[in-house]
Structure 1
Amino acid sequence: MPLEVFFPPPGGGSRSTAKARAICSGCPVREECLAEAMSFRADQQYGVSGGKTARTRQKLLRAADPRPDPGDPL
């Protein structure tokens, strides 16, 4: 499997990640893969891991972080 399947070029949209997400859905280590990917900071997320895109993992990480985002206006 080419790595490009899991690490498509940025801006490709959901079509570029569909194959990787489909592969992940049936993978026996999907949960472990996702847990490993979630151990990285939100700004270090890239590609598809554990069936989740980088954008989805970033949202999950930010939602779980109780600290305010310094870029958000108060």
Structure 2
Amino acid sequence: MSTHWEDRAACAGTMLELWFGPEDYDEPKDQTRWRHRRATEFCATCPVRTDCLAAELIRPLSEQHGIRGGLTPRARERLLARWRAAGLVPEHCPPEDVDLVRRLLTESDLVPATRYCPGS
């Protein structure tokens, strides 16, 4: 039995397009909203949501794509900005300590609840 968190994710085995969008055409906004809502519904029930989100948050923003841990890239950027403003993570680079990020995700009142919000 594998112990890697990705193997235990609610999204394991789903189509990548749900999380990252289509590659071959510009998605209409209503389709994007539906896709984001559906993806975040998966994330809300995921037993490894914190691990997923932490793994994404330690990557540079330019390398972050799709729905991860229930948040869009824009929502993750806003979360990191709040953490930076509070002095919790470095100002000009991604946080390097995944354990710190995991702790912030579970303990911080600066973390949004997992649910779909239009415009995220």
Q: TM-score, normalised by structure 2?
A: 0.49
Q: 5 Å matches for 1:1-74?
A: 1-9=14-22, 12=29, 13-65=32-84, 67=91
Over the matched positions of the two proteins, sequence identity in percent amounts to 32
Report the CA distance between 1:62 and its aligned residue.
2.6
Long gaps (5+) in structure 1: 69-74
The Cα RMSD (Å) is 2.2
Report the CA distance between 1:14 and its aligned residue.
2.7
Long gaps (5+) in structure 2: 1-13, 86-90, 93-120
Higher Cα Rg: structure 1 or 2?
2
Q: For this pair of structures, how many residues does the alignment match?
A: 68
